[in-house]
Amino acid sequence: MTNIRANRRKILTAGLALPALSIPSLGYCSPGPARQLTFYHTHTGKTLDIVYREGDEFLPGALGSIDDFLRDFRTGEAHAIDPRLLDQLHDLRTALGSTSRIEIISAYRSPKTNNQLRSKSNGVAKRSLHMQGRALDIRLTDVPTRDLHSAALELQSGGVGYYPKSQFIHIDTGRVRRW
């Protein structure tokens, strides 16, 4: 419990409890240092280490590389990933003091892939935000999943799902909700 309180304090201190201020839209971001993310895709085995934003500027080339990396690995289709989702990832890693790569379990899913997954599981939404590039299923290997889940809830930046058996969480840029 102490660890969760300490993490909550870090998030609140960082101003992350006010998503309108801390997760800016593509049109405006607070000036600041470069933001970097390091990914590992659990299905492809590929990695990506990239600076996606410098100060208040998202880097178009980096965003394109991220879109390609987070493509639907089943169909090969790519889709633009919401930059606010990238800021959520960065803010989570920073607040939790994580130094591990962000493990991607699921990223963009084409409608075809989403329908295939829905036919096999009742846990896949018909209008999943994965199909809009607005959702990711992730884990951080150096942070317990329950702590990652708590920190994502504290952000209040969108939906958060908790999958403790599979050791990952879902985050998205939709309305604030939890499951």
Asked, for residue 174, whether it belongs to a domain, the answer is yes
Q: What is the pLDDT of residue 6?
A: 52
Asked, for residue 56, whether it belongs to a domain, the answer is yes
**Does residue 7 surpass a pLDDT of 90?**
no
How does pLDDT run across 105-163, given as a tens digit for each residue? 999 999 999 999 888 887 788 889 999 999 999 999 999 999 999 999 999 999 999 99
**Does residue 13 surpass a pLDDT of 80?**
no
Asked, for residue 70, whether it belongs to a domain, the answer is yes
The average confidence (pLDDT) of the chain is: 87
Query: Which pTM was predicted?
Result: 0.81
Query: How many residues are given for the chain?
Result: 179
Asked, for residue 22, whether it belongs to a domain, the answer is yes
Which is more confident, 95 or 6?
95
Asked, for residue 137, whether it belongs to a domain, the answer is no
Our count of domains for the chain comes to: 1
Q: Out of 9-13, 63-67, 102-106, 130-134, which region has the weakest mean confidence (pLDDT)?
A: 9-13
Query: What CA–CA distance (Å, rounded) separates 94 from 152?
Result: 12
Asked, for residue 31, whether it belongs to a domain, the answer is yes
Domain of residue 118 covers 2-131+145-178
Asked, for residue 52, whether it belongs to a domain, the answer is yes
Asked, for residue 139, whether it belongs to a domain, the answer is no
Query: What CA–CA distance (Å, rounded) separates 176 from 41?
Result: 26
